[in-house]
Chain A
Amino acid sequence: MSEVKKFLYVNRKAPYGTIYALEALEVVLIGAAFDQDVSLAFLDDGVFQLTKGQNTDGIGVKNFSPTFRALGDYEVTKLFVEQESLDERGLTTDDLQEVTYEDEDDDWAEKPSIRVVSRAEMADIMANQDVVLSF
């Protein structure tokens, strides 16, 4: 594609209470086919989207958290998670599911997709985009 833009999907809402997290993920999956430079940002309540152990049996809603682990297959490999947002919610990276991708430029080595960044780094990431889609 002639023009590659930097797309940032900003996730600031928790899953299940509203549909935003799920429908954001649907955009990411479709958007992956467009070969753009894609990053996902998780901050504020958005960090709750990535927690381990989600079980939706009792609410009759599809558990979409395993889909994050498939993002690597779509070449979506940059999931930025804000440290301060985790801290404020009593979470550590141990509470998050493991999301990895295989790096084709490094003999398909398995690498973590989740990168924990500081609030200041998150601000830099946001300021370095062409298109910001907020959910």
Chain B
Amino acid sequence: MSTLHTVNKSPFATGALVSCLDHCKDGDAILMIEDGVYGGLTGTTVADRVQQKAGSVAIFVLSPDADARGLATDRLLAGVNGVDYDGFVDLVADHDRTQAWL
């Protein structure tokens, strides 16, 4: 039993990502979409927290959203992987529930 969490807010605008990180469980997945993709960047004030979770929680950014915002793959934290919309669909199907951190 696991959860896919979606985060669509920049971590510099709201606490959604941090709250999600604080509530997700080992084996869950986090997908950053829309402005949420900024949470996957290196060198930010939340990067350490995201990186720490990346061992026990699978963390993804939605590539079309990252591309739209000009975030090159090499700016993403190690262990944060890109998925396209088909990958998003697979993540939803592969987890028991989806929780949006609006």
Whether chain A touches chain B in the assembled complex (some CB pair under 8 Å): yes
Complex: chain B residue closest to A10, CB-CB: B99
Complex: chain A residue closest to B6, CB-CB: A134
Asked whether B97 lies within 8 Å of A132 as measured between CB atoms, the reply is yes
Asked whether B19 lies within 8 Å of A126 as measured between CB atoms, the reply is no
Asked whether B25 lies within 8 Å of A123 as measured between CB atoms, the reply is yes
The interface residues of chain B, by DSSP majority, are classed as mixed
- Please name all residues of chain A whose beta carbon is closer than 8 Å to the beta carbon of B28 when the two chains form the complex: 127
- Please name all residues of chain A whose beta carbon is closer than 8 Å to the beta carbon of B98 when the two chains form the complex: 132
Taking the closest CB of chain A, its distance from the CB of B1, in whole angstroms, is: 7
Which residue in B1, B23, B97 is a CB contact (below 8 Å) of A123? B23
Q: What CA separation (Å) do A132 and B16 show in the bound complex?
A: 16
Interface string of B50-86 (1 = CB under 8 A from A): 0000000000000000000000000000000000000
* Known pairs A123-B24, A123-B25; A43 contacts B19 (CB<8 A): yes
Which residues in window 5-42 of A have CB below 8 A to B?
10, 12-13, 20
Question: How many residues of A are in contact with the other chain, CB < 8 A?
Answer: 17
Asked whether A130 lies within 8 Å of B97 as measured between CB atoms, the reply is yes
Asked whether A127 lies within 8 Å of B3 as measured between CB atoms, the reply is yes
Taking the closest CB of chain B, its distance from the CB of A22, in whole angstroms, is: 15
Complex: chain B residue closest to A122, CB-CB: B23
Asked whether B100 lies within 8 Å of A134 as measured between CB atoms, the reply is yes
- Please name all residues of chain B whose beta carbon is closer than 8 Å to the beta carbon of A10 when the two chains form the complex: 99
Asked whether B3 lies within 8 Å of A44 as measured between CB atoms, the reply is no
Complex: chain A residue closest to B25, CB-CB: A127
Residues of chain A touching chain B, judged by Cβ–Cβ distance below 8 Å, are: 10, 12-13, 20, 43-44, 119, 122-123, 126-127, 129-132, 134-135
